[in-house]
Chains A and B, each alone.
Chain A
Amino acid sequence: MSFDCTEYLQYTVLHLTGEVDLSNSSKVRSCLLEILDQGKSVIVDFSTLTYIDSSGMATLVEGLNIANKNNLSLFIAAANGAPLQVIELTRLNQVFTLVNAVEDIKE
């Protein structure tokens, strides 16, 4: 798994690539919490993510709770394949705002 951050409008985009599981979800957590700590809203880009387990989704839920508490936003962009299936199985599609692509978010 690898990740990197870019800027888009007022958002920090966290691009996740590969597989997120117990072996690396703590790294994603640290990065996500650091972005939110800086008062930035986040778009988590799933376009090159091939797998995420419940430890990864729990990290995003934690991030969303923090974002909500601090009047920030957290979107998930371009979820597809197995990661989208996980979101749907956990009913987290009712909780997160999912967009087809990062560019679909306007301001």
Chain B
Amino acid sequence: MKAKELLSKTWTSCPNELSDIRQNITDVCRQLNYQEQDINAIVLAIDEACTNIIRYAYDNCKDGRIRIDISSDGHQVIFRLHDFAKKVSKNCIKKKATEPLQPGGLGVALMQQIMDSVEFVHTRFCKGNVLEMKKALPKEDN
């Protein structure tokens, strides 16, 4: 089945853009009939991924770009987050054993808990990094 494109939009790496990113993700998830709790969780996962891009890929530089492509193959939704910064280590999304009282690592743990898969995809021919997250579509009776 051909993937259906649901969103393709670019924002700057300014933290003030996060609110608009969250609104766009919410709108797409509502169209897909996810339940409110799932929408909250998906929005959080994408927000955490964007936060990591801003902090670690762009070192808090505000004039980078973040492109988010969302598509669906009929079974799952595929969220691709592209940045155009230096290559980051794939190890940075390895699951950490986070203790609740340690402030660091919460974002990655949340992304992995919420999404069905989280991985960097190969980007040999283009600059930057592509983080791909997949989440099963809601069941039809939802």
Contact = CB atoms under 8 A, between A and B. Distances in A.
A85 interface: yes
A53 B40 CA distance: 11
Interface in A47-84: 51, 53-55, 57-59, 61-62, 64-65, 81-82
Interface stretch (B64-72, B84-92, B96-104, B131-139): B96-104
A53 B100 contact: no
A28 to B, nearest CB: 13
| Interface of chain B: mostly helix, strand, loop or mixed | helix
A21 B41 contact: no
For this complex, into which size category does the number of interface residues on chain B fall? 20 to 34
Contacts, number: 68
Contacts of A61: 100-103
Nearest to A64: B101
Interface residues of A, number: 25
Contact of A21 (B40, B47, B103): B47
Contacts of A51: 22
Contact of A65 (B19, B101, B107): B101
B37 A85 contact: yes
Interface in B43-74: 43-44, 47-48, 51, 54-55
Interface of A: 19, 21-23, 51, 53-55, 57-59, 61-62, 64-65, 81-82, 85-86, 89-92, 94-95
Interface of B: 14-16, 18-19, 22, 37, 40-41, 43-44, 47-48, 51, 54-55, 100-104, 106-107, 109-110, 113-114
A-B pairs, 9 with minimum CB distance: A58-B103, A23-B15, A54-B106, A82-B40, A22-B15, A54-B107, A95-B100, A61-B103, A22-B51
